[in-house]
Amino acid sequence: MNDFKYTMVFITAADNEEARLIAKMLLEQKKAACVSIMDGMNSAYWWKGAIENATESLLMVKTKAEMLDDIVTAVTEIHSYENPEIIALPVFGGSGSYFEWVDESLEPEAEEPTAT
């Protein structure tokens, strides 16, 4: 098991529309506290024996490390790429109040009491 509580997950998407769709899903499912999107990133990479170039959008997902497996599964299910880039880096420090906000943001919604 990892010994860090928070992670930054990097995900590339084909364009802003796909990036926004992924961000919305992760936020609605409480898998991310915040998702920042950078458009117009130029990527060069090997794909099926050839060097490819593409303009992509980069998502930077701020979340808890325990969410990583769920994020990988959820993003893979809706992503347009055959093999989407989903990589995570541990967060070893930062603003205590920011981490408190991350914790609060990822708490499950309280269920409304049902009438009996």
pLDDT in tens, 49-103: 999 999 999 999 999 999 999 999 999 999 999 999 999 999 999 999 999 999 9
Residue 5: inside a domain: no
Residue 79: inside a domain: yes
Q: How far is CA 114 from CA 50, 71, 111, in A?
A: 58, 31, 9
Q: Minimal CA–CA distance to 72: which of 33, 4, 63?
A: 63
Residue 70: inside a domain: yes
**Model pLDDT for residues 41-61, shown as the tens digit of each residue:** 999 999 999 999 999 999 999
Query: Please, what sign has the CA dihedral across residues 56, 16, 74, 98?
Result: positive
Number of domains composing the chain: 1
Give the domain range for residue 41: 11-106
Amino acid identity of 70? D
Long-range contacts of 16-23 (CB under 8 A, 24+ apart): 16/57, 18/57, 18/79, 18/80, 19/57, 19/58, 19/59, 21/78, 22/59, 22/75, 22/78, 22/79, 23/59, 23/61
